[in-house]
Structure 1
Amino acid sequence: MYSITDVEQAINYWRARQASTDDFSICPRGRVLADVYGSMIFYRQEAVEPRTLTAEQNEALSLALAQRELPL
């Protein structure tokens, strides 16, 4: 299960590491996670199961969460 905090932290991770395509949008990996985050807020979900996400969303989440735990 991914908590809403996990999704938010993953979005922030990608925003800090990937450039957006212009000054008004979010980076590609952040964008796929923003869809998950927005849906969680709308439906008042505190967590989401990985099996309900696309492969791209799962990859963006798992990579970001794994990377944040590595020492700098």
Structure 2
Amino acid sequence: MSHSTPIPNGQRVSIARIEHAINVWRNAQATISDTPEILALDDESRCLADIYGMMIFNGLESIPLDALSEHQLDALTVAEA
């Protein structure tokens, strides 16, 4: 996964979008797992959880989209597709 579209300056991503994307990835993982509870996050959820946790810790409701790493942006974009 790689994003090739430039990110417009000033565009922001909300904590709600990050949370939704994490849940999309977790739900996708749950459908391929035999156990009802997932004890480990997949790579996409994990990378988004890192930024999500930082946002909660710092009391941020949104961050600049360009603050996301390429991996985080890809995980967000694919989850929203």
| Pair in the same fold by TM > 0.5 | yes
Structure 1: where are the runs of 5+ without partners? Answer: 68-72
TM-score by length of 1: 0.80
User: Structure 1 vs Structure 2: percent identity of aligned residues?
Assistant: 39
- Root-mean-square deviation over aligned CA pairs: 1.5
Which structure 2 residues correspond to residues 1-72 of structure 1 after superposition, within 5 A? 1-18=12-29, 23-65=38-80, 67=81
Could you tell me how far apart the structure 2 residues matched to 1:52 and 1:2 are?
9
Greater relative contact order: 1 or 2 (C-alpha under 8 angstroms, separation 6 or more)? 2
Which is helix-richer, 1 or 2? 1
TM-superposed CA distance for 1:24, in Å, is 2.1
Moved over 2 A (4+): none
TM-superposed CA distance for 1:2, in Å, is 0.9
Structure 2: where are the runs of 5+ without partners? Answer: 1-11
Query: Aligned letter for 1:2?
Result: V
Could you tell me how far apart the structure 1 residues matched to 2:14 and 2:68 are?
13
TM-score by length of 2: 0.72
